[in-house]
Amino acid sequence: MLEFAATRELVGVALRITGKCIIPDQRSNADSAAGLIVRPQHRLAQQAATARPGIHVGSLADNHRRILRIFNSGLRHDVAGSERACEKGEGLLWDGHFALYMALYMNNAKTPDLALYIHWPFCISKCPYCDFNSHVRDSVDTKQWQTAMLADMAYEAALLPGRRLDSIFFGGGTPSLMPPALVAALIEAAAEHWGFAPDIEITLEANPSSVEAARFADLAGAGVNRVSLGLQSLDDAALEFLGRAHDVAEGLAALETAQSVFDRISFDLIYALPEQTEANWRAELERALSFGTDHLSLYQLTIEEGTRFASDVRKGVFKPADDDSGADLYALTQEMTNAFGLPAYEISNHAKPGHESRHNLTYWRYGDYVGIGPGAHGRRLNQATQRHTKPENFLSGVARNGHGIREEETLGQTEQVAEALLMGLRLAEGIDLAALEKRFGVAQNEMIDTKAVSHLESLAYLERNSNRLTILPKGMPLLDAILPEIIALAAA
């Protein structure tokens, strides 16, 4: 049973929060709390709490699921019903958890929202192209991992009080291997620590296997409202080459299950494979678009050091697609996705307008985000953080220090500006240079090389329109070459 008492300033009204109901400390000021349900019902709330002090009504999980439903419906609720519930001591809308959410919700304009990244490092097997922090283990002690992840989250929450979460992203590894109860526990802890935006986006990456698809309904019940499926290809031979455990039929069955459970779905495809032709990719992408998802992540195969594919290329096992072929396939991708109404909002990510990944936009717009779990990166309080990558080292670090941080680096002003430019210019919307100038106090002509910008603008690779700098479609395939030319600041 959770019992607490806290004082929060909420629209100028001090409220004493108990485990049951919101009670105005100053009754004379209660009616000035515009927008709060407290105003007409504070007397009943006080009576209910006084009559039943410390009464336990429902589990913590139940309370948070109620709150999530309320916020996901846009804070539309039955005031009379909440009054009756509070009068009975049920605490549906008057309990302390809801009060904390309301406190954060009403004060959300004071500080920008946060994003939370949770890394689950375990996989059934290691894909030959993958350089992510993923590990294969015979067994995983779920209870031990829950304790460690919750402690790691609590450490970050203590550093960032009064913030609100706009998104949570479970990445990996293979987060769909997590027990749904663990996912629920992490979501509920995040809600306790920070509170949620009314329409919070909670994404979980999933492998499209039949075993993991069977968990989708339970994951949705835990609070996940968006899933990102690693289909990777719609060709069985390509899936075998990529080392994937599923075939096309199993992947599409998982997609169908996901579409029956989640409102928002994305899936990944990898293209520019060895010997892949334009005709083959056109047919595959046309089929992918026909499934009607609101988001696609379309990545060209890159050979990363430390992967099996890097070793295979050195040994001559296969030859990667050349740059010209990659450029042609990229142009075809843009043509087809634009025609279908899924334009690229970032170099590799496509969405119907309004269905972009809010979590990833936080990265690209250089917002603050917390990263917990093995290998997770974060950026908050002008610092970049990285957790221990090896799972066992992460557990030891949490046990020893109360967190899993391996590195914590203070970012200088010029370094932050350079990073913001590097990230933001990946977006179709580009960068608002005036906003960066205001945020970091660095003049626009010190951020960018104006001569290089003018030259590349004359070649139609980019556009500078007043304070906004945007990479044009012609320049996006050359982004890695363009960025060092136009960014005048060097990362310190």
Question: pLDDT tens digits, residue range 162-207?
Answer: 999 999 999 999 999 999 999 999 999 999 999 999 999 999 999 9
Q: What is the sign of the dihedral through the CA atoms of 395, 399, 404 and 406?
A: negative
Instruction: Summarize the confidence of residues 366-374 as an average pLDDT.
Output: 97
Query: Has residue 408 got a pLDDT over 50?
Result: yes
- For the chain, residues classed under CATH 3.20.20.70 are 114-364
Q: Which residues of 240-272 are buried (b: 16+ CB within 10 A; e: fewer)?
A: ebbebebebebbbebbebbbebbebbbbbbbbb
Residue type, 53: P
Q: What is the pLDDT of residue 490?
A: 61
How confident is residue 133, by pLDDT bands cut at 50, 70 and 90?
confident
Question: Of 71 and 184, which is predicted with more confidence?
Answer: 184
Q: What is the pLDDT of residue 489?
A: 80
Burial of 471 per CB tally in 10 Å (0-12, 13-18, 19+):
buried
Highest mean pLDDT among 15-24, 31-40, 46-55, 432-441: 432-441
| Fold of the domain spanning 114-364 | TIM Barrel (3.20.20)
Alpha-carbon gap, residue 25 to 22, rounded angstroms:
9
Helix (H, G, I), strand (E, B) or coil at 346: strand
List, for residues 84-123, the tens digit of each pLDDT value.
444 444 444 434 444 444 444 444 445 789 999 999 999 9
Q: What is the pLDDT of residue 110?
A: 58
Instruction: Summarize the confidence of residues 361-369 as an average pLDDT.
Output: 97
Question: Of 78 and 402, which is predicted with more confidence?
Answer: 402
Q: What is the sign of the dihedral through the CA atoms of 48, 53, 56 and 60?
A: positive
Answer yes or no: are the C-beta atoms of 155 and 403 closer than 8 Å.
yes
Alpha-carbon gap, residue 321 to 334, rounded angstroms:
18
Best CA proximity match to 233, nearest among 223, 214, 247: 247
Instruction: Summarize the confidence of residues 339-344 as an average pLDDT.
Output: 97
Q: What is the sign of the dihedral through the CA atoms of 224, 289, 172 and 153?
A: negative
- Which residues face 118 on adjacent strands? 170, 372
Mean pLDDT of all residues belonging to the chain = 82
Q: What is the pLDDT of residue 125?
A: 86
Alpha-carbon gap, residue 169 to 100, rounded angstroms:
22
Q: What is the pLDDT of residue 14?
A: 25
List, for residues 268-309, the tens digit of each pLDDT value.
999 999 999 999 999 999 999 999 999 999 999 999 999 999
Alpha-carbon gap, residue 100 to 77, rounded angstroms:
17
Answer yes or no: are the C-beta atoms of 178 and 170 closer than 8 Å.
yes
Best CA proximity match to 475, nearest among 489, 455, 449, 492: 455
Highest mean pLDDT among 14-23, 60-69, 298-307: 298-307
Instruction: Summarize the confidence of residues 344-363 as an average pLDDT.
Output: 97
C-alpha of 218 from chain center: 20
Best CA proximity match to 157, nearest among 181, 133, 188, 199: 188
- Tokens 């504070």 belong to residue: 42
- Tokens 């919307």 belong to residue: 429
Instruction: Summarize the confidence of residues 231-246 as an average pLDDT.
Output: 96
Q: Which residues of 363-402 are buried (b: 16+ CB within 10 A; e: fewer)?
A: bbbbbbbbbbbbbbbbbbeeebbbbbbebeebbebbeeee
Q: What is the pLDDT of residue 12?
A: 28
List, for residues 413-462, the tens digit of each pLDDT value.
999 999 999 999 999 999 999 999 999 999 999 999 999 999 999 999 99
**320 Cβ partners below 8 Å, 6+ apart?**
274, 301, 303, 313
